[in-house]
Amino acid sequence: MFERISINSEIYHGQACILGTRIPVHQIVGMLANGDTIEELLEEYPSLEREDILACLEYAASLAEEQVTFLEPLPGPA
């Protein structure tokens, strides 16, 4: 599913990185969230391709879809 994302315990403490780099996914997603454009990221990281950045977004979106199972009931309204 994520051909451009790698998780290796020996690279960047096992965090998800762009395949073949030490650039963590969270760094790219954070930069986009702070207003950087894809074009700016491609200029800053010339080894990356547009598809790498889109893969970071796809990976982050998949994490946001994870089902959360609460171990205790959530408190209700006061």
Amino acid (one-letter) located at 55: A
pLDDT given at position 32:
98
**What's the pTM value of the predicted model, to 2 decimals?**
0.80
pLDDT digits (tens, 9 = 90+) for 22-58: 999 999 999 999 999 999 999 999 999 999 999 999 9
Domains of the chain: 5-64 (1.10.10.10)
Cα torsion at 40, 24, 46, 20 (round to 10°)? -160
DSSP 8-class letter at 73: P
User: What is the percentage of the chain residues whose pLDDT exceeds 90?
Assistant: 76
| C-alpha distance from residue 32 to each of 17, 70, 75 (Å) | 16, 30, 34
pLDDT given at position 74:
61
